[in-house]
Amino acid sequence: MAVTLTSPEVMNDAPVIPVIVLNDVTHAVPLARALVAGGIRMLEVTLRTPVALACIEVIAREVPDAVAGAGTVRSASDAQAAALAGARFAVSPGYTHAVGRACREAGLPLLPGVATGGEIMAAQEDGYSELKFFPAMQAGGAAMLRAWHGPFGDVRFCPTGGVTLANAPELLALPNVACVGGSWLTPADAIAQGDWARITQLARQATALVRRR
């Protein structure tokens, strides 16, 4: 039986959590293996396609070195379905008390999405201090995170949305950023072409990024 993770463990495993969109279940295992080969274990498979839960299930079963998580968790039923599929953590684009409660009941560490001070406070009221800042670059990027560091010095963030290999270093240099989320590690054309070597190389570039502790 898998050991239960904590949100800090999810965020501290690598500088980048890949944001993955899969349209074909047969791509799930080779993609996960390619990312693991590049040093990335925490895999956020977004619930944006009809096959997402099946992809989480097959990764959890066949790639033991990967930690499959569910992204785009928007409801209690999403959280429950993700847990049943074998997800080890959850990521949401926003935050509601119902999603937080469902993830706790399912034993899923949750990185709730926030974009305002009020959303941060609501998540903290429910015990969440490791948060996803989304959509990060559209909502203020590094400047917003610097502004939040004063009133929310006890919160750590995973900025996601518009993050690239080029702007990730600035974000990772901030004291309140634990990691970033990015889709650049799993480009759609590489997945469609089965170019797993390219994805491994992108993962290696990501693990080489330096973050402030």
CA distance 20 to 29: 12
Distance CA 153, CA 19 (A): 26
Q: Is-catalytic flag, 130?
A: no
- Active-site residue, selected from the candidate residues 9, 44, 57, 62: 44
Asked if 200 and 179 touch (Cβ cutoff 8 Å), the reply is no
**Tokens found for residue 202:** 């992108």
Query: Considering 57, 105, 125, 132, which one is annotated as catalytic?
Result: 132
Q: Which two tokens stand for residue 186?
A: 């799993």
Closest by Cα among 54, 145, 44, 147 to 93: 44
- Assess whether 132 carries a catalytic annotation: yes
Q: Which residues are catalytic?
A: 44, 132
